[in-house]
Amino acid sequence: MATLEKIRQKGKLVAIVVGFALLAFILTDFIMNSQAIFGGDRTEIANINGESVHFQEFEQQVQELARIQEIQSGGSLDGNMLEGLRVQAWEQMVNQMLLAEEVELLGVRVSPEELYDLVQGENIDPIIAQAFTDPSTGSFNPSSVRTFLQQMDLDQTGNSRAMWTYIERQVYENRLRSKYNSLVQKGILVTNFEAEQAHLENAYTVDFDYVMVPYASVNDSTIAVSDQEIKAYYDENKALFEQEKSREASYVVFKVAPTKADMEASRSAAAEVAENLRQVADVAAFVRASDEGSVLRVYKNGDAPVPFNGMAFDPAAQVGQVFGPVESQELGAYQVMKIVSISQMPDTVRASHILIGGNRSYEQATALLDSIKSVIENGGDFAALAQQYSEDQGSAVNGGDLGWFPQGMMVQPFNDFCFKSPVDSLGVVESQFGLHLIRVTGRGVEQPVRELALVNIQILPTNETIQQVYAEASRFAGSNREFEAFQKAAQEAGLDLRLAENIREMDQRIAGVETGREPVRWIYQAELDAVSDVFEFGEDFAVFALTRINEEGLAPVDDEQVRMQIEAVLRREKLGQQIAQKMSGASLEAIAQTNGAQVVEAKTISFNTFSIPNAGPEPQVVAHAVSLEKGKLSQPIPGNMGVFVINVKSITEPIKKEDYQAEIATLLRGKRGRVPQSVMGMLRDAAELEDKRANFF
């Protein structure tokens, strides 16, 4: 009752609170709905020719690809791999939707009967053939497809069905794309006139001499380009200044390197490792558990790393001795060595083997190999059994003989058995390829060897050092929030100011930067001249400043890069005019002498010639050459490298033909052959594609 009385007493206050709560609820709902009404669907990730694609649809495609990738690799995906799959899913989705529109209009279909023929029938698709090719034989067996399908649903993980669904979809889309490409190819024709022109362009050739005065031979510092000239050029050539949406950023890197204290700590750790290595019984297990690059292997004199080679092959060296730690600047680590054994081994061995693996289980392979081994031990012919059973087709044809091979050429277990066993030894060894029955058939020249354990202890910065560098980078970013201050501070600190250009909104990373999409996202959300917080840069840290924004469309004439581009063109034009005024004369020799140049010969130049001798690509010169009269000096021709004057010495006229079928066939092959690589690009260029991925990733 007391509670009810309090509610009555505070009734007005409660009504106000409840009213505000209801109003907030209504406004929230209205705002969310109005965003969808006035600002577009917030779940839309793309719009392709008016068809909306929602985030959930796209993410489902990404997850399907991720599952296939995990099945194939047998492991989980990291962030970079997932970003790569998003790019792959995007490309697939856009291509699928654009192609689907086209084939729908044309009535192109892939029937169930046709699909069956591609996956199980007589006309197997290359995707199926590759997926079901026996890796040990390199051949495709159609029965393996049927076996897989029969056993597919026995896989309770669902991985087999997921993989088959993916493969079948790829086959279907491959066939659909092939049909569409075929229709496009059949729509391409070559007329008799085109063939004749192609023949004339190739067969009409000229020999000419030329003189070229390079632009670089004249000092252009006195040449001025006015604002009016820049504006006039811009207005006449606006198409040259169309640009895509992009950004440009400057950045500095704060390197994280081990300090003297870190190195001393690593050396102390290495000394402790050396003591443990001296006492450990299972050296192989110790090496496997050590830092990357640690090895246990046999070395002959001269092959072991410096300076351990001299220590290991010292006449006084003994088994069990431990040396080090020794710093290796190349590896960025301290190294410790233990002599595990001292023996004699051949420089090469010869062996034969029978490989069993493939589609058999481990138990089946072991049972078969044990039977083969038993037969051989009782007098069976190793070579004949290798030819019959070995899955290594390269050696099976030679009775399993692998010939002579040096230390380290074969995988480690195989190598160790061969080099440590006497001639005629017979044994079974397992490797990543399967089970091997090996017979050692020869040993080369014996030489002294040492089995060495080389253990690395990486020299790494401590957490304290990493935190110190991060704090330094944070102070830099926090104290310089605009580019001008950022640039000045970087120069004062002696930091290398790097430039990242042409950054696209959906780039997965900035070129040359060992980090993911985070800086790209920041760059597209930041204002011009803004400075970022600290980003991880591989093992280091980086701070970015947004220095340029290029919006899609026409770059403005007052843009610095546009002005520089136009100035360079106009300056070269004026240079060319200056040079041309000095290139008058009665002959090429006279022009060459006046300008300190040489007369150069160019032979068999046609309209399709790409470059000319000693000058490189010069399309303007080639175009003039094939249109000039014989024996007549040309006017000065502005080229890529300089200004040219040419004199055509001889002309080879083409012989007209009655039949141009060969030319027609050649042109058709070229044009139709480019269709599979270019058709999707053309569909994309013609499509209305709105990419909103940056709102989500």
Q: Is the pLDDT of residue 276 over 50?
A: yes
Q: Is the pLDDT of residue 326 over 90?
A: yes
Give 35's pLDDT tier (boundaries 50, 70, 90): very low
Q: Identify the helix (H) or strand (E) that includes residue 665.
A: helix 661-673
Asked whether 510 and 503 are in contact (CB, 8 A), the reply is yes
Q: Is the pLDDT of residue 579 over 90?
A: yes
SS3 content of the chain, % helix, strand, coil (to 5): 50, 25, 30
Helix ranges restricted to H, 412-506: 412-420, 463-479, 483-493
Q: How far from 584 is each of 272, 587, 589, 643, CA to CA, in Å? A: 84, 9, 11, 12
Torsion angle of the four alpha carbons 307, 311, 313, 319, in this order, in degrees rounded to the nearest 10: -130
The reply to whether omega before 325 is within 30° of 0 (cis) is yes
Buried b (16+ CB within 10 A) or exposed e, 525-558: ebeebbbbebbebeebbbbbbbbbebeeeebebe
Other CB atoms within 10 A of residue 99 CB: 19
Question: Is domain 348-444 in CATH 3.10.50.40, yes or no?
Answer: yes
Q: How far from 11 is each of 2, 8, 42, CA to CA, in Å? A: 14, 5, 40
- Which has the closest alpha carbon to 605: 621, 592, 593, 585? 621
Residue 359: predicted pLDDT: 62
Q: Most distant CA pair in the chain: distance in Å?
A: 121
Residue 392: predicted pLDDT: 87
Q: Is the pLDDT of residue 408 over 90?
A: no
Residue 136: predicted pLDDT: 61
Give 5's pLDDT tier (boundaries 50, 70, 90): very low
Cα–Cα distance, 203 to 606 (Å, whole number) = 7
Residue 297: predicted pLDDT: 87
Give 18's pLDDT tier (boundaries 50, 70, 90): very low
**149-174 average pLDDT score:** 91
**451-471 average pLDDT score:** 95
The reply to whether omega before 305 is within 30° of 0 (cis) is no
Q: Is the pLDDT of residue 202 over 70?
A: yes
The structural architecture, per CATH, of the domain 51-178 is: Orthogonal Bundle (1.10)
**136-145 average pLDDT score:** 77
Give 318's pLDDT tier (boundaries 50, 70, 90): very high
Residue 657: predicted pLDDT: 87
Site of tokens 């000693």: 614
Q: What sign for the dihedral angle of Cα 553, 556, 561, 563?
A: positive
Residue 403: predicted pLDDT: 94
Give 34's pLDDT tier (boundaries 50, 70, 90): very low
Helix ranges restricted to H, 107-141: 112-119, 126-131
Residue 7: predicted pLDDT: 28
Residue 695: predicted pLDDT: 87
Residue 135: predicted pLDDT: 67
Q: Is the pLDDT of residue 570 over 90?
A: yes
Token couple for 404: 């002579």
Token couple for 418: 């061969």
Residue 40: predicted pLDDT: 56
Q: Is the pLDDT of residue 311 over 90?
A: yes
Which of 25-34, 473-482, 658-667 tops mean pLDDT?
473-482
Average confidence score pLDDT of the chain = 88
Q: Is the pLDDT of residue 257 over 80?
A: yes
CATH code linked to domain 205-242+559-652? 3.10.50
Q: Strand 205-214 vs strand 599-605: parallel, antiparallel, or unpaired?
A: antiparallel
The predicted-structure confidence for 211-223, as pLDDT tens digits, reads as follows 999 998 888 777 8
Q: Which residues 6+ apart lie within 8 Å of 436 measured at CB?
A: 353, 354, 355, 414, 428, 429, 430
Residue 137: predicted pLDDT: 66
Q: What whole-number percentage of the chain has pLDDT above 90?
A: 71
Q: Which residues 6+ apart lie within 8 Å of 472 measured at CB?
A: 254
Beta strands in 348-506 (DSSP E): 348-356, 401-406, 426-431, 434-443, 446-458, 498-503
The predicted-structure confidence for 333-359, as pLDDT tens digits, reads as follows 999 999 999 998 898 999 999 998 766
Residue 358: predicted pLDDT: 63
**562-576 average pLDDT score:** 93
The predicted-structure confidence for 523-560, as pLDDT tens digits, reads as follows 999 999 999 999 998 889 999 999 999 999 999 998 88
**118-144 average pLDDT score:** 83
Residue 219: predicted pLDDT: 82
Q: Is the pLDDT of residue 689 over 50?
A: yes
Give 23's pLDDT tier (boundaries 50, 70, 90): very low
Q: What whole-number percentage of the chain has pLDDT above 70?
A: 93
- Pick 343 or 8 by higher pLDDT: 343
Least confident of 4-18, 48-62, 578-592, 623-637: 4-18
Q: Is the pLDDT of residue 37 over 50?
A: no
Residue 4: predicted pLDDT: 30
Q: Is the pLDDT of residue 666 over 90?
A: yes
Q: Is the pLDDT of residue 14 over 50?
A: no
**479-508 average pLDDT score:** 94
DSSP one-letter code for 304: S
Cα–Cα distance, 94 to 47 (Å, whole number) = 10
**300-322 average pLDDT score:** 91
Residue 470: predicted pLDDT: 96
Q: Which fold has domain 245-257+462-551?
A: Chitinase A; domain 3 (3.10.50)
Residue 79: predicted pLDDT: 78
